Structure 1
């Protein structure tokens, strides 16, 4: 299933979502202007390399400044490995980010996005702490946005397309079904990647899992107002203290 849009109005323009998409696109166009060798160096310098973060000897061996391993926790979120990578991530951010930003406000949304993105990447890095492969992409942070959306608007309708051979089938499903299905795919893909790394490698599944969970569990900390929202209460009201105003 490929999401096309959500059927949910917003109160305010998603300024920070637009800014994040713009920065990602600008960095990507800079990447494709580089030669293959320059691009590889760029990825290794500004992508997140788990071994560089956890192994001081490795960092000293490659002769990189110490600040870079910490700065890469942020910079890797704005680097993408190809057209499909950035289009998929930015499209997903556009669908789910605007309504989450609407509840959090632009600056809280940015803080939520960056902190959850860091946590998501560290989830992957703890499991693959000896990896020297750079981790790049915004998908960990976007997974957190999806986790927050899952909790905020479980009954919102998501328009999806399901291709059957060459015939696209369009239909709407509740957000909690689509996002729950998406999370299960990430979860089982992550488990299989541990058992069959050659078949499921190349994707930071555990960054997706960690991002989704931390977004779902912490979004209320970042909300600008604790108020009652019907969708949230209908499914999850029994699990949380809801302030009805």
Structure 2
């Protein structure tokens, strides 16, 4: 475990302070990243969301990874370049996530419009699945609606839920340092590919390059095959890794030694 470096320490302090301030003084909605169609969206959120966390475990997970892998990269690059890397990968993650999320929400909004015009129970279920809604607890309603597709009461309830669905998705924010942290993991795996890691959940030494490869593959799978109710921004993680890869290719063109 390398000693903590100045910029990593500053980022840890800033994230913890933001967590305390937004928990006690300022609303998260002001700093978390919203869809550009939301009334809550502000341009500064592309930056500020990187220093926000939803709960203590979310904060701990990201800061632990920053603490473990960040110092080696800061020593390799220096404080200024490390901070530049951190910010660019975090911003890149938010841009990729926002683009994917914009498309997903647009699909749902189109589905809502179609359902409002022709309220069919099968289309309603498909709409919920497209939106990633956990159908647990709604089975009985879906069964009864399917049995009585012309019942005004079921149609009214389904329309009301559909109308709220678009608003909820548009106004659901994304927050956390995960994009930048996944960028750090990617950089560590590329610069120190043969460094062996011992993970708590996988008590066998594994080289950094294989760890990053497996983690990236999992995030791709999870992003493309979302489990209902999954609120993890998998494409933000992938965005951080993608922008890290691009930066490393630009910065490390003349580097031939890997550890």
TM-score (normalizing by structure 1): 0.72
SS at match of 2:205: strand
Which range is displaced more, 212-221 or 96-105? 212-221
> Which residue, out of 217, 223, 229, partners 1:190?
223
SS at match of 2:43: helix
1:108 is matched with: 81
Which stretches in structure 1 are left out of the alignment for 5+ residues? 163-168, 232-245
Residues 1:17 and 2:8 are matched in the alignment: yes
TM-score (normalizing by structure 2): 0.68
Residues 1:158 and 2:197 are matched in the alignment: yes
Report the alpha carbon displacement of residue 219 of structure 1 after superposing the two structures with TM. 2.2
Q: How many residues align?
A: 193
> Which residue, out of 70, 86, 97, partners 1:124?
97
CA RMSD, aligned part only? 2.2
Report the alpha carbon displacement of residue 227 of structure 1 after superposing the two structures with TM. 4.2
Change (3 A) 1:108 1:220: farther
SS at match of 1:49: coil
1:230 is matched with: 258
Point out the structure with the larger strand share: 1
Which stretches in structure 2 are left out of the alignment for 5+ residues? 106-169
Residues 1:140 and 2:179 are matched in the alignment: yes
Residues 1:47 and 2:32 are matched in the alignment: yes
Q: Deviations over 1:6-58 (max 9, x none)?
A: xxx68xx6211111011001111223324xxx6xxx221111102xx3x3xx4
Contact 1:104 1:222 survives alignment (8 Å) = no
Distance 1:226 1:103 in 2: 14
SS at match of 1:230: coil
